[in-house]
Amino acid sequence: MLPQSSSLTCYYFRAEGELHIALPPLTAEERFDRLRICAGLLQRSNKESLLSRLVTCGEKWILYDTEKRTARCIDERDLTKEMKPHYKLQLLTVWWSAAGLIHYNFFKGPLTSASYCQELLNMHKKLLKYQKAMFYGRCPVLLQDDSRSYVKDGSIRSLFTLGYEVLTYPSRSQDLLPTEFHIFPAFNNFLAEQTFDCENIEGAFENFLRSRATAFFQCWHG
């Protein structure tokens, strides 16, 4: 959401093309909202080390073709038109920071408010264990798409209780999430070169993670 270099900006636009993200026309109010939030974050990032405290997340459906033994990432809005009898689905959720992966999980169905709150807790425990420096001084800052149906009052209270700040996020802005334009395009490219059994989707994601250098997760530092 805060590109710090021209190279990262170009990467974002390339990824947008790879994912075929259809951006609906924004209203004047929505454009102003984006501009206002962006300007505020740019000013803030000049005053404090905001990016090093950022935790972000995302989700994508993994569509597995049982005949070809291949898989690819698709958006929720494409599920109906993409599904065929020989396809299987799993939902992948990913939580990460510039220091690396924090937590991921696979689900048989969509997230609910209860399962999302549990994911928050699971992520928090791993962040405390593996990236404890996030809690030194200032609190971690969460960047997420809070328009998701499962982001309810209960999860916001959980974040407050766990000590997280939640960034204000403009509506209809899925394309601005780092997970959307960085993690999933790379994973999709990785999947395009693989064949495996449906039960090994999680193993494929783990192999993808092992193939990434540490710098892969530092994309927003430009």
Q: pLDDT of 167-206, one tens digit each?
A: 888 777 777 788 998 999 999 999 999 999 988 999 999 9
Higher pLDDT pick, 172 / 55: 55
pLDDT of residue 7 exceeding 80: no
Contact assessment for residue 64 and residue 185, using Cβ atoms and an 8 Å cutoff = no
| pLDDT at residue number 61 | 96
pLDDT confidence bin for 22, thresholds 50/70/90: low
> What is the second-level CATH architecture of the domain 6-221?
2-Layer Sandwich (3.30)
Neighbour count for residue 206 (Cβ, 10 Å): 12
pLDDT of residue 17 exceeding 60: no
Q: What is the pLDDT of residues 93-132, one digit of tens each?
A: 999 999 999 999 999 999 999 999 999 999 999 999 999 9
| pLDDT at residue number 3 | 44
pLDDT confidence bin for 2, thresholds 50/70/90: very low
| pLDDT at residue number 38 | 85
| pLDDT at residue number 186 | 96
Q: Where are the domains of the chain?
A: 6-221
Q: Which of 17-26, 65-74, 130-139, 163-172 has the highest mean pLDDT?
A: 65-74
pLDDT confidence bin for 9, thresholds 50/70/90: very low
* Per-chain mean pLDDT for the chain: 86
Contact assessment for residue 220 and residue 178, using Cβ atoms and an 8 Å cutoff = yes
pLDDT > 90 in the chain, percent = 51
Contact assessment for residue 170 and residue 34, using Cβ atoms and an 8 Å cutoff = yes
pTM of the model as a whole: 0.84
Report d(CA 209, CA 187) in Å as an integer: 9
Contact assessment for residue 89 and residue 63, using Cβ atoms and an 8 Å cutoff = yes
Identity of the amino acid at 55: V
pLDDT of residue 6 exceeding 80: no
Q: From its phi and psi, is residue 130 left (phi > 0), alpha (psi between -120 and 50) or beta?
A: alpha
Backbone angles phi, psi at 209, to 5 degrees: -60, -40
Contact assessment for residue 55 and residue 141, using Cβ atoms and an 8 Å cutoff = yes
CB-based burial, 82-121: b 16+ in 10 Å, e otherwise: eeeeebebbbbbbbbbbbebbbbbebeebbeeebbbebbe
Q: Say which DSSP state 5 is in.
A: S
Alpha-carbon torsion, ordered 144, 148, 152, 155, to 10 deg:
-40
Angle in degrees, CA 206, 68, 205, rounded to 5? 10
| pLDDT at residue number 138 | 85
Neighbour count for residue 175 (Cβ, 10 Å): 14
| pLDDT at residue number 221 | 55
